[in-house]
């Protein structure tokens, strides 16, 4: 699928690093010290491997040498190449704590951990036996990404922290692993967040699994009929949905009395490889049912009613909400289905589809089609159903998910007399337009549809 190379400029450890991507979640790694021969790293292809400062870091997606999937392990590069496999754990996951990313510094490793879907940054100190302690002074209940601030000093521990929350604009902070960072820059607010609140709840899936979700809305009594609610999800490709600044939804929806909900369903990476694996192939149907469980939980809590919930998703999330339309129509008042994957019988034959077999399965294999047909939204459309209104949109230049998925779905629904709107932009790739004007028009259409369907009393 892809190949890349990187060069280390560390004067104490010069090397070239090659990555060969075979498929999603499968990589081959090659190490070549300056002046030496290139060597393939002898590790399972489903792990992530990083080398720097003379150490190797490995995050396996399956159990490795007695360590749990999702751990972060370390070993000296020279020792590994000499045949040793005496790994030491830098991070060990728990059911609600997963490693999102890391920065490899000379003195240790900076860990960004998702603790029940909220970022916690810790520094694992090699000199202290890899004991980890929190990096002080970072905002709680946020999403945080950490980058090394490269410079001429190879021993520098300068870090950039990009911090955001649903109600907090993106904030850039400068610091290091040991002291509280200082504010560098913050984007201006895009809406008045006063009177809004963020809460985290959990729905219970059919198999008893707790499915967390964030609720962002007015800190007021629930109005008659419940809050008009925009429910967003994805549930695939090990993508974690974490708090982010609601620049658009905050201004156009929450600040006007609506609620925004972000669902952390299976198939994502919020709780490590196991959470992802539970929502792939046959489990994709389970992940989609998680989304319906979140919608139902909102109703049970008295926050809204089914007719006031709009389900929204794009790409793999388009497949998600396409299945809400066809399999859980009574749980939603409307659906927005963006750049969607919908025809699971033919998806492997269109654009990048064949590369997603590890996520979904192969429809040309009878055993795989047996479960794929249960989530192929295009094939599941039936006459005489009580489907909610749906807005399907795509772009003519989508080079990832073929626009034929959206075109066929809209045509089939319209031919059967359903309330199905369709919009196709000329440009934008697998996105919402090629420039700010096109994106603004696209979002305006979406929010106009939302207000006209679930926004009324």
Distance CA 80, CA 234 (A): 38
Distance CA 118, CA 193 (A): 20
For the sheet with 97-104, list strands across it: 97-104, 108-115, 118-125, 131-134
The two three-digit tokens of residue 224, written as one number: 């008659």
Distance CA 310, CA 319 (A): 15
* Residues making up the chain, counted from first to last: 457
Annotated catalytic residue 430: yes
Instruction: End-to-end CA distance of the chain: give it in Å, rounded.
Output: 49
Annotated catalytic residue 249: no
Q: What residue ranges in 166-243 does DSSP mark as E strands? A: 168-175, 182-186, 196-204, 210-218, 229-232
Distance CA 381, CA 383 (A): 7
Distance CA 257, CA 259 (A): 7
Question: Given its phi and psi angles, is residue 185 left (phi above 0), alpha (psi -120 to 50 degrees) or beta?
Answer: beta
Instruction: Give the H/E segment covering residue 441.
Output: helix 436-453
- Determine how many CB atoms are found less than 10 A away from the CB of residue 180: 11
Q: Is 306 in contact with 331 (CB distance < 8 Å)?
A: yes
Q: Is 75 in contact with 119 (CB distance < 8 Å)?
A: no
Distances 257 to 85, 218, 246, 389 between C-alpha atoms, Å: 57, 6, 14, 22
The two three-digit tokens of residue 284, written as one number: 């994709």
Selecting among 119, 142, 312, 315, the annotated active-site residue is: 315
Which residues are identified as catalytic? 315, 430
């Amino acid at each position: 699928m892809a190949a890349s190379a990187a060069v280390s400029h560390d004067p104490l450890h010069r090397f070239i690093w090659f990555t060969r991507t075979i498929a999603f979640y499968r990589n081959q790694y090659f190490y070549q010290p300056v002046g030496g021969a290139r060597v393939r790293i002898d590790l399972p292809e489903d792990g992530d491997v990083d080398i720097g400062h003379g150490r190797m870091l490995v995050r396996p997606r399956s159990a490795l040498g007695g360590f749990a999937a999702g751990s972060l392990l370390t070993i000296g590069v020279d020792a590994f190449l000499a045949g040793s496999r005496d790994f030491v754990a830098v991070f060990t996951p728990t059911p609600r704590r997963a490693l999102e990313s890391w920065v490899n510094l000379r003195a240790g490793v900076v860990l960004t951990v998702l603790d029940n879907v909220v970022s916690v940054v810790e520094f694992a100190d090699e000199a202290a036996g890899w004991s980890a302690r929190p990096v002080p002074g970072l905002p709680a209940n946020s999403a945080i990404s950490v980058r090394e601030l490269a410079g001429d000093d190879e021993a520098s521990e300068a870090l950039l922290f990009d911090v955001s929350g649903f109600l907090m604009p993106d904030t850039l902070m400068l610091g290091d692993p040991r002291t509280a960072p200082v504010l560098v820059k913050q984007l201006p607010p895009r809406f008045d967040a006063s009177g809004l609140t963020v809460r985290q709840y959990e729905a219970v899936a059919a198999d008893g699994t707790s499915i967390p979700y964030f609720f962002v809305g007015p800190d007021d009594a629930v109005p008659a009929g419940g809050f008009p609610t925009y429910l967003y999800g994805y549930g695939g490709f090990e993508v974690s949905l974490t708090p982010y600044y609601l620049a658009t939804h905050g201004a156009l929806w929450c600040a006007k009395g609506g609620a925004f909900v972000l669902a952390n369903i299976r198939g994502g990476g919020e709780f490590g490889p196991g959470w992802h694996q539970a929502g792939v192939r046959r489990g994709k149907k389970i992940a989609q049912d998680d989304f319906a469980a979140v919608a139902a939980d909102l109703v049970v809590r008295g926050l809204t009613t089914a007719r006031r919930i709009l389900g929204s998703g794009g790409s793999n999330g388009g497949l998600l909400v396409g299945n809400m339309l066809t399999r859980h129509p009574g749980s939603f008042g409307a659906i927005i289905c963006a750049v969607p994957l919908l025809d699971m019988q033919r998806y492997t034959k269109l654009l990048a589809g064949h590369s997603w077999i590890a996520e979904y399965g192969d429809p040309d294999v009878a055993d795989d089609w047996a479960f794929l047909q249960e989530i192929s939204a295009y094939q599941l459309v039936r006459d005489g159903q009580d489907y909610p209104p749906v807005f399907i949109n795509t772009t003519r230049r989508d080079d990832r998910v073929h626009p034929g998925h959206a075109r066929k779905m809209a045509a089939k629904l319209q031919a059967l007399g359903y309330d199905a709107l369709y919009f196709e932009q000329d440009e934008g790739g697998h996105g919402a337009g090629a420039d700010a004007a096109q994106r603004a028009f696209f979002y305006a259409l979406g929010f106009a549809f939302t207000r006209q369907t679930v926004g009324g009393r």
